[in-house]
A = this chain, B = another copy of it.
Amino acid sequence: MIETPSLVDQYCHGVLRTELGLGTFEAHLSHTEGPPAPGTTLFDTQTGFAVRRWCPPLLGLEPHCAPARYLARRRELGVLESGRRLLRGSGITTYLVDTGLPGDLTQPGEMAGTGAAEAREIVRLELLAEQVADTSGTVESFLANLAESVHAAAAHAVAFTSVAGVRHGLALAPEPPGPGEVRGAADRWFAGRGVGAELSDPVLLRHLLWSAVASGLPLQLHAGLGAPGLRNDRTDPILLTDFVRATAGLRTDLVLLHGYPYHRQAAHLAGVFPHVHVDCGAALVRTGARAATVLAEILELAPFGKILFSTGARGLPELHVVGARLFREALGRVLGTWVAEGAWSLADAQRVAGMLASGNARRVYGLDRP
């Protein structure tokens, strides 16, 4: 029996503050381009089935009850109370929250209060730069303000995160761009943008990455299925190899988020490069009943001291619950099987479980630093 008493969710978002109907709830179960196909529903997915398995009992219903019944009960309790019950039932004791998404999502402080847990902020580089651009009159002031903002963020956040892979693809030139190059790219972006325009210029994306690396804070890189993007194979983490090599020895940790279906590649990088770590967890929310296998695939090549749990949850507290429960169950099943087969000792399995659940994240993000 492998136990994981405490969970650090190393990457998630806040939850929605508004009451949800069946359709709006369903839309948050998955990242799609367009509504469900006629005759189908997003509840008929691994995520939908996992929500129906784990969440109804936390609201006093039987597992696998019909979506409409679950939603009715959720509205009956109200978004606040159902959020409290769900987050407190997840087993997560620390949330690291990426605050860089649009929409009315709870901030780290509210996550802590609602979930009776600790919460810390992750700063999304691209949003930071877009916000700085919105309030900077000139390219010079944009670049100066950006440097200052990254510096200020490094003082209070636990990590930076980047969606460069989704915006442009991970096949970025590995070295830091020179000042003239950055200035030129900023000129072009500034000239062409309206307020709120997305930053997707590869030179500016690289400038952000290297600014983060220079700060010394861990840098989380979205890879694989983390977010809907241009084309998924352009987010294969193996494309980061040269960037990873260029940042070796600089004392900044890199954390590859999501990874799936390229999680074996992400695990490979964590195995080869001392400063690279891999997420496990966010892929589990998507793959549901297959969580144990996906987790086991990550455990093939990644050193056990380099694997970190997360939920990647966004919008629905149900996704935090599902991420945490699937991870715990999958970890217990995978490691328990290896112990039963004699491949691992029980003591090792318990030690490794603690590392993945919280120990590695506490070390990488310095959560125990005063």
Contact = CB atoms under 8 A, between A and B. Distances in A.
Interface of A: 30-37, 39-42, 44-46, 49-50, 53, 63-64, 225, 228, 230-233, 236, 238-239, 241-242, 245, 248-249, 253, 260-261, 264-265, 268, 271-275, 286-290, 293-294, 296-297, 299-301, 303-306, 338, 341-345, 347-348, 352, 355, 363
A62 to B, nearest CB: 10
Closest 3 CB pairs of A and B: A40-B305, A64-B345, A289-B343
Contacts of A363: 39
A265 B231 CA distance: 11
A296 B305 contact: no
Contacts of A297: 290
Given A63-B342, A231-B241, A265-B232, A286 B301 contact: yes
Given A236-B233, A238-B232, A46 B299 contact: yes
Contact of A304 (B35, B45, B293): B45
Given A44-B355, A53-B344, A289-B338, 13 more contacts: A32-B271, A33-B273, A37-B274, A40-B303, A44-B303, A63-B342, A64-B347, A225-B301, A233-B236, A287-B301, A289-B343, A293-B296, A294-B300
Given A273-B34, A299-B46, A238 B233 contact: yes
B64 A34 contact: no
Nearest to A62: B345
A290 B286 contact: no
A299 B290 contact: yes
Nearest to A304: B44
A320 to B, nearest CB: 18
Nearest to A283: B300
A231 to B, nearest CB: 4
Given A39-B363, A231-B238, A300-B46, A32 B287 contact: no
Nearest to A344: B49
A168 to B, nearest CB: 15
A10 to B, nearest CB: 16
Given A30-B271, A265-B261, A300-B294, A343 B36 contact: no
B287 A232 contact: no
Contacts of A50: 343
Given A39-B363, A268-B225, A303-B42, A49 B231 contact: no
9 contacts: A30-B303, A37-B253, A37-B303, A39-B305, A44-B352, A45-B304, A64-B345, A231-B242, A289-B344
A366 to B, nearest CB: 11
A341 B301 contact: no
A89 to B, nearest CB: 17
Contacts of A45: 271, 303-304
A232 B241 contact: yes
Nearest to A296: B290
Contacts of A305: 36-37, 39-41, 44
Contacts of A344: 49, 53, 64, 289
B64 A348 contact: yes
Nearest to A39: B363
Given A40-B306, A268-B261, A300-B46, A33 B245 contact: yes
B342 A306 contact: no
A242 B304 CA distance: 38
